[in-house]
Amino acid sequence: MSQELKPTPNQTVLGLLAERTGVTAAQAELEAASIGLSRSGGAEERYDLALSRFLSLGGPDLEARCCSAMNSVGLGAQDLGQLASSLSGGEQARVGLVAVLLSRFDVLLLDEPTNNLDGHGLETLEAFLMNSSSPFVVVSHDRRFMQRIVNGVIDIDPHLRTCRQALARVAS
């Protein structure tokens, strides 16, 4: 998940969250696969894969999960219909956090996830990552955050095009 939301014009917060969690793309593929069922034989496999993806990303109950997650970061369910582009910087950071909380990816890649988070948001993110059974990769300059949540650090030197293991431990 990138550190900036970059909503499209007229995109609501709910639409942005659906996009960032992968539900929008999965729903589009499911709809295309549904149309394919009526047009040609052998489309069942495509439909089954699309349906499995949509379900695994939490598509059917996304809005309900959004309401709960929005409340947990200090935003309300009423904000889901708001234009994402009208959010303040702090609100955008919290919506980005909601997208992380709702994510159901095999591996979560986070780019500077602590940027613009307040103390409550940082605690929420840390608790989510510490309790996650899924692997995650974090790109961050926030050393204290990294020390609390990761079990390994790799330093990358872009000039030499090398990397070295800087820390290997189990997070407590």
Boundaries of every domain in the chain: 13-22+57-168
Give the fold, CATH level 3, of 13-22+57-168. Rossmann fold (3.40.50)
User: In angstroms, rounded to a whole number, what is the distance separating the alpha carbons of residues 57 and 55?
Assistant: 5
- Check whether 151 has a pLDDT greater than 90: no
- pLDDT bin (cut points 50, 70, 90) of residue 143 is confident
**pLDDT computed for residue 63 by the predictor:** 95
- The Cα-based distances of 113 to 12, 101, 120, 127 in angstroms read 22, 12, 14, 13
- Check whether 126 has a pLDDT greater than 60: yes
For residues 2 and 78, the model is more confident at 78
What phi, psi does 104 have (nearest 5°)?
-135, 55
Apex CA 88: angle with CA 102 and CA 114, to 5°? 50
**pLDDT computed for residue 21 by the predictor:** 94
User: In angstroms, rounded to a whole number, what is the distance separating the alpha carbons of residues 168 and 121?
Assistant: 26
- What is the tens place of the pLDDT at every residue in 76-112? 999 999 999 999 888 998 999 999 999 998 898 998 9
Q: What is the pTM of this model?
A: 0.83
**pLDDT computed for residue 164 by the predictor:** 86
Mean pLDDT, rounded, for 56-72 = 95
